[in-house]
Structure 1
Amino acid sequence: MERLISRSHGARANRRRGEIEAVIDGERRILCLTLGALAELETAFGVEDLSALARRFSAGHLRAEDIARIIGAGLRGAGNLFSDEEVAAMSMEGGVPAFAAIAAKLLNAAFTGGGARPPDP
């Protein structure tokens, strides 16, 4: 079931806004960790600020649930209305490593503007 309110279909990611593209569940989607999406992740991970969130991610110890939360927040940040549970049930060519790479790209775009090496998943 696709619930979409964004311009993901047919639009291209705007890297200046921190957007990335990924094919998830056979559909090309745009993802973005907006300020609201990052606030959602701060709450989900129980950290007090963005620097603590960045430190947590840069440690490179992400669980599958963490990856689903990051991708879910990125999808919602770009206007796609998927729950973390729905994201966890999605598939992607390349499997778990591909999902981890998408999470790393999102974090890289959010915390470095896309110019630095992403955190290892």
Structure 2
Amino acid sequence: MANPYAGEVALTIDGRRHVLKLTLGALAELEAGLGEDTLVALISRLERGQFSSRDVLALIVAGLRGGGWQGASDSLLQAEIAGGAIEAARVAAQLLVRAFGPLTAAEHDSV
């Protein structure tokens, strides 16, 4: 089970449940991969709704790596994500919120 207090989010890929987390190393890789100077710039862009599927995929990969995944990002290009692109975007957003903000009341209730 994903622990939201530890910044974890769950996502099912190809029928297998994964726990994602944005560790410091994963965040550094994310910055480099997306070409942003700071995480604040990335978060600001996402908050304005100016994100691409590449951004979502990069966040998912960073979260997977932070959760211990050893796979290659290219393997996700053909992967089946439960809930599709909408779920992937939701999980990507949750990763950022859990990495940088307190849990919401609804998240407290679901733990």
**TM-score band (shorter)?**
0.7 to 0.9
Q: Could you list the runs of 5+ residues in structure 1 that have no partner in the other structure?
A: 1-11, 117-121
One-letter amino acid of the structure 2 residue matched with residue 25 of structure 1: D
Q: Could you list the runs of 5+ residues in structure 2 that have no partner in the other structure?
A: 106-111
Q: State the TM-score, normalizing by the size of structure 2.
A: 0.82
C-alpha change, 1:114 and 1:60, in structure 2 (3 Å) is farther
Write out aligned runs for 1:68-87 (5 A): 68-87=57-76
Do structure 1's residue 51 and structure 2's residue 40 form an aligned pair?
A: yes
In structure 2, distance between residues paired with 1:41 and 1:111: 15
RMSD: 1.7
Per-residue CA deviation, residues 49-77 of structure 1 (Å, 9 max, x unaligned), is 22222212222222111111110110000
Do structure 1's residue 28 and structure 2's residue 42 form an aligned pair?
A: no
Higher helix share: 2
Do structure 1's residue 37 and structure 2's residue 30 form an aligned pair?
A: no
Do structure 1's residue 111 and structure 2's residue 111 form an aligned pair?
A: no
Q: State the TM-score, normalizing by the size of structure 1.
A: 0.76
Identity of aligned residues (%): 41
Question: Across the two proteins, how many residue pairs are aligned to each other?
Answer: 105
The DSSP-based 3-state class of the residue aligned with 2:100 is: helix
Mean Cα deviation higher: 73-82 or 54-63: 54-63
